Amino acid sequence: MKFLFSILFLGHFVISAQQKPVQIAFLADVHFQDLYGEFSDSDFKGIENPGTGKKTILRTMDSQLHSTRIFNENYFAFLAALDDIAKRNIKIVALPGDFTDDGQAYNLRGLKKILDGYQKKYGMRFFITTGNHDPVGPFLKQGGKSDFMDENGGELSIVSDENLIRKKDSKSIFTRDIAMSGYLEILNSMNDFGFAPSGKDIFWQTPFSKDSYQQFQFKNALKDSEYENRMYEVSSGFSVPDLSYMVEPTDGIWLMAIDGNTYIPKNIDGNPDDENNYSGASIGYNNVLSNKKHLFLWVEKVVTEAKRLNKTLIAFTHYPILDFNDDANSEIKQLLGNDKWQMDRVPNDEVAELFAKAGLKLHFAGHMHINDTGVKKFKNGKMLVNIQVSSLAAYIPGYKILTVKSEDEFEVEMVCIKNVPRFNELFSLYEREFKNLKTQNSSDIWNHDILKTKNYRDFTLFHLKELVRLRFVPSDWPKDFIEKASKLSGKDLLKLSLGNSKDLSKFNTKSFETWRFDDALLNLYQFQSADELAKKDIPKKRLSQYRILEENFTMLETDDEFLTQLKLFFAILEKLSTGDDADHLKIDFKRGELLKL
């Protein structure tokens, strides 16, 4: 009896262990740059940080406040995120592209060292897919940056080719390690992180593999992973690699890493081996539609096999497969134009239709540096969900945890990375840069108050604020609209929203005077970036006032161009602030619904 009881207890324990939900962490757009890396062919190790005594290879604050991504502090945020994942005992970590900032050799070495360390110490496994920054093109390209910081707080060029120096008198460092890696270099450096099979994998394949699940052999998969066996014709006579793969890292879970990069030749009469004869891949799936359709056929094949074998399939790519602007695209185009607000990156409806037809249900993406949930339901009852994972190099910094409850039930949670050890480690160097810019009487100097931020989340919010001022407003918004709107307070906007009716008696106009249009503009970008999580950084009273303005402007009939623009502005703000839940949610595909948790 004791023996029988032991067997029954052990059987119950094994079944319970098997039923424990699988968790996967998604870390998108890390944009890793190795602050403390080394060049293999140069003695340059960076400039000395007076606060730490360390040599540091960093970009200037000015450069990162003009960029949609932070270049330096995300190094520390990445380590903080990995530490948080380790504390939660999550063993599977997926990186949906842009794991480096242009795939330079020294950054790849630095990233590999970190990932190897966490794999060894915590038993994690990392699975990555390519983004438009890794690689920048299908083949190795000479490159460099002119905005690294020199010892005086000025700019320093680090390039792989002297022909890339922009200014003749510019200080320059030459190293081949700053060249932008192509697919071959990425594969050789990072094949331990999903691009090649591991002995730990239950199953692994590429779109070009011939072996079925039952025929799987590690040696054959290893052969399939080789560079020359992963080529396809992107255009007639132009063969480029596709690093897509599907892996079963733990029993019952199929993780599909789709290489959504599509590098199309600029000149079809040009040289197929010319690394400069290919356009960038940032448009995403709209180019897959035209030049890489074999991916949809592969997805359909994998979905069919997953169903037959009772496997749970989760896909991730660098690029979104659904609208990420909460159905505000029409208003954005009317207000800003078709070529602003990165509208070319919004996937066509056909992308979602093809994935749904293939049977895909759940997809994780990066690229846009935003937190968002996209849902599309089809007449046949199918539902497609696209989860946009925030970047660690932008507001709000964080990652997503997927908990697999069953093949039809999932939980998705956004984890914000707020407190990051050492996030201010480089501030003394930025002080040096700021003084240098002041002595040069430079125009549009960045706001020194960013160096007073108390945590990394606040740092990223300040980064967004400066990005709006220094880049987005000048590049995206009609100049006359901004000039007029920037003069307005909330009370002024309230009056305009009422049109001919100037009765303000039912409103607390004093509270409307506490903010201006520029505050609303920043809040608009906060909602675009962080979705509902932005509400934690915006006064509740102001949020209710935005709703009043949106309702008033909706009812306002006007032919006035400026009032029509304001009407569109608040319509966009309303849509971006009321999208599908993007914080903590349950996805139930059987019922076809999302529930806020």
pLDDT digits (tens, 9 = 90+) for 291-305: 999 999 999 999 999
Residue 466 structure tokens = 């400066």
Per-residue pLDDT for 12 more than 80?
no
Residue 220 structure tokens = 């054959």
pLDDT score at 507: 86
> 216 exposed, middle or buried (CB, 10 Å; 0-12, 13-18, 19+)?
middle
How distant, in Å, are the alpha carbons of 257, 389, 552 from that of 576?
29, 16, 18
Amino acid at 422: R
Instruction: Give, as one character, the DSSP assignment of residue 139.
Output: S
In angstroms, rounded to a whole number, what is the distance separating the alpha carbons of residues 189 and 81? 22
CB 316 within 8 A of CB 255: yes
In angstroms, rounded to a whole number, what is the distance separating the alpha carbons of residues 383 and 376? 6
pLDDT band at 167 (very low <50, low <70, confident <90, very high): low
Amino acid at 411: E
Per-residue pLDDT for 6 more than 70?
no
Report pTM.
0.95
Q: Which residues contact 65 (CB under 8 A, 6 or more apart)?
A: 446, 450, 463, 466, 467, 470
Per-residue pLDDT for 2 more than 80?
no
In angstroms, rounded to a whole number, what is the distance separating the alpha carbons of residues 212 and 308? 12
Q: Which residues contact 129 (CB under 8 A, 6 or more apart)?
A: 94, 95, 96, 97, 194, 243, 244, 257, 258, 259, 260, 316, 317, 318
Segment 449-457 mean pLDDT = 98
- Please indicate whether residue 560 or residue 164 has the higher confidence score (pLDDT): 560
Per-residue pLDDT for 361 more than 50?
yes
Per-residue pLDDT for 18 more than 60?
no
How distant, in Å, are the alpha carbons of 79, 233, 319 from that of 288?
33, 12, 10
| Residue among 298, 294, 288 nearest 318 (CA) | 288
pLDDT above 90: percentage of residues in the chain: 91
pLDDT band at 17 (very low <50, low <70, confident <90, very high): very low
Segment 468-489 mean pLDDT = 97
In angstroms, rounded to a whole number, what is the distance separating the alpha carbons of residues 7 and 5? 5
Hey, is 138 helix, strand or coil?
coil
Mean pLDDT rounded to a whole number for the chain: 94
pLDDT score at 506: 84
CB 67 within 8 A of CB 463: no
How distant, in Å, are the alpha carbons of 291, 528, 584 from that of 533?
37, 10, 10
The domains located in the chain, with CATH, are: 21-416 (3.60.21.10), 477-576 (no CATH)
Residue 370 structure tokens = 């935003």
pLDDT score at 154: 95
pLDDT score at 419: 97
Least confident residue range of 39-43, 85-89, 171-175? 171-175
Segment 188-192 mean pLDDT = 97
| Residue among 190, 22, 198 nearest 114 (CA) | 190
In angstroms, rounded to a whole number, what is the distance separating the alpha carbons of residues 201 and 312? 15
What tens digit of pLDDT does each residue of 507-540 get? 888 999 999 999 999 999 999 999 999 999 999 9
In angstroms, rounded to a whole number, what is the distance separating the alpha carbons of residues 452 and 464? 15
Beta strands in 172-237 (DSSP E): 172-174, 203-205, 231-235
